[in-house]
Structures are given as structure tokens and as C-alpha cells.
Amino acid sequence: MGADSGPAAPTAVPWRKVLYERQPFPDNYVDRRFLEELRRNIRVRRYRYWSVVCETTLIAQQVSCVALFLTVWLYMERGELAPSAVLWLGLGFALVGYALYEFLGGPGVRERTRLDDLQSASIFLAFTFGFSPVLKTLTESVSTDTVYAMSAMMLLAHLVSFPYAQPSPPGSLSLNAALFSSVCLASRLPGALHTFTMLCCALLVFALWPCLLQRLRESAQWSFPCATLLVCVFGVGGLGSLWPEAAVLLSLALLVLVFFSPFLLMQLQRHKDNIHGPWDEAEIREDLSRFLN
């Protein structure tokens, strides 16, 4: 593309940036004013390091939630943890979490009453307990290696598809992937009560906890980092009680995710170079509402 050069670029007639008009210039000709409208990085968001670190803690705590869930399953699979103890502990956490969720909600108008919440919880527990023997034998014809591989893929899909920007309510894809993984893992436990316990744990960890965490994030901003840090500590500690090497790897992964990844983002942002100019796609700003009527 030429610019004010060559024998075919006369100077007597000024060049105009118009399309449907014959001019004594080649089709690929532009003058020096063409690049005067060049703009760089006009819509680039400038991030701050500690703000990005605060946002990545949500991803770190979700990874730690998966580690906690796997820790409970490993203890139950080894027979070192009774399902009744897990149920009572989960019930206590559920009641405390529900009370905290209601307290942080304030006196605003609720879309659901407490009776509706109690009915939903009762229906879920009744159906899950009734279908636990069926879920226990659901994957008997599938090899254990295949079940473990499917569980790992579903947990990875849960982490990838989780709505980190708005975790309440949890996304349907991420929640279904986590529940499918819990069903696969629960089918390798000794009894139907173990299956029921694992499904209840999956509901608490992957469905109810994100809702409470979002409420903490909105209503009590100071408590959000403390809650995420506590979950990460429990995740690493629980995994370390069974497999110290895995706990070390998880700790390194969390440190890289929380501190190194934002630093790398800030470094790469310096090299961002978006150009905007008259060659961009045209934007129609005319009011076309009269055609829609």
C-alpha cells in the first residue's frame, strides 16, 4: 500500500477518504493523514496486582474444596471414618452455614421462605437416601480404573466450568460434573450409607458452600479472604494427613496460582498492543427502533 509516493500519486488534486467517488489515485493509495487516526490500547483494562491476587483466591479455595472432598472419600474408602460421623458433622456445618447465610442476608424480602428451604432439603435427603442402594450398584459393571478416570475428568470439568465471577448459584455444568464424580466415587465405597454420605458431602461442598461464600463476599468483604484461606489450609492439611507428597504439590500449585499467575499477568500486560483506526469495522449508530415496531 502506497502513501504519497510513486508516479501515480498526483499532488494537484487532494486525496479524499471516500469510497464511491472516482479519484485520480490508485485503489491502494492513502496519504500521510491516514495514520493520524491510529490509537493504541484505548480499551485496555489496567489491573492491580493485589486486586488480581484477591480474585484468584476464589479459584484456589475451589481447588482446595475438591481436595477436601477427596480427603473425606479416601478416609471412608479406607474405613478410617464412619459415615454416621460425617453425616452429623455435615449437618452441623449445614445448620451453622444456613444461619450465617440468613444473618448476612439482612432484613430484605426473601424469594423463598424457610419452610420452602426445609421442604427442598427434606425432598433431596429422602430421594437420595432412597436411591442410595441403586447408586451404589450403578457402576458395578465398570472397571475401577475407568471410574477413577471419569471422576478425575469430571472434577477437572467442574473446576474449569465453575462460574468464578458469580459463584451463587453454582453453574449447572460445574455442579452436574461434581455430582457425577461423587456418584462414581461413592459407588466404590462399602455400603449404601457411604454413598448417601458422599452425595450429601458433595451437595455441601459444591452447591451450598459457593452460595455462602458469595454472600460473604458481598456482605462481609473482610471475612472473604479469611474464609478462602481457611479452606485452603484445611484442603492442604487434610490431603497431607494421607499423602504428604500430594499436599506439597497442592501447596506449590496454590502459591503459583495465587501469587505467581497475577505477577505474570502484570508483566505480560506491558506488551499488550491493540491498534484502532479507520480500518476498523464500521459501527452503525443510527436509531433503528422505528423498523422494529
Mean pLDDT along residues 118-133: 89
Kindly indicate the confidence band of residue 9, based on its pLDDT and cuts at 50, 70 and 90: very low
Q: Are 74 and 65 in contact (CB under 8 A)?
A: no
DSSP structure class, residue 258:
I
Kindly indicate the confidence band of residue 280, based on its pLDDT and cuts at 50, 70 and 90: low
User: Is 275 within the bounds of a domain?
Assistant: no
Please state the pTM of the whole predicted model: 0.78
User: Is 224 within the bounds of a domain?
Assistant: yes
Map residue 3 onto helix, strand or coil: strand
User: Is 80 within the bounds of a domain?
Assistant: yes
User: Is 180 within the bounds of a domain?
Assistant: yes
Single-letter residue type at 267? Q
Confidence (pLDDT) at 160: 92
User: Is 213 within the bounds of a domain?
Assistant: yes
The tally of domains found in the chain comes to: 1
User: What residues contact 67, with CB distance under 8 A and at least 6 apart?
Assistant: 235, 236, 238, 239, 250
Question: What's the burial of 216, exposed, middle or buried (CB within 10 Å: 0-12/13-18/19+)?
Answer: buried
pLDDT in tens, 12-65: 777 777 777 788 888 777 777 777 777 877 777 778 888 888 889 999 999 999
- pLDDT(10) > 80: no
Backbone angles phi, psi at 79, to 5 degrees: 80, 15
The range of the structural domain enclosing residue 70 comes to 55-107+136-263
Backbone angles phi, psi at 228, to 5 degrees: -65, -40
User: Is 71 within the bounds of a domain?
Assistant: yes
pLDDT in tens, 71-100: 999 999 988 889 999 999 999 999 999 998
User: Is 23 within the bounds of a domain?
Assistant: no
User: Is 156 within the bounds of a domain?
Assistant: yes
Confidence (pLDDT) at 87: 92
Cα 209 from Cα 101, distance rounded (Å):
10
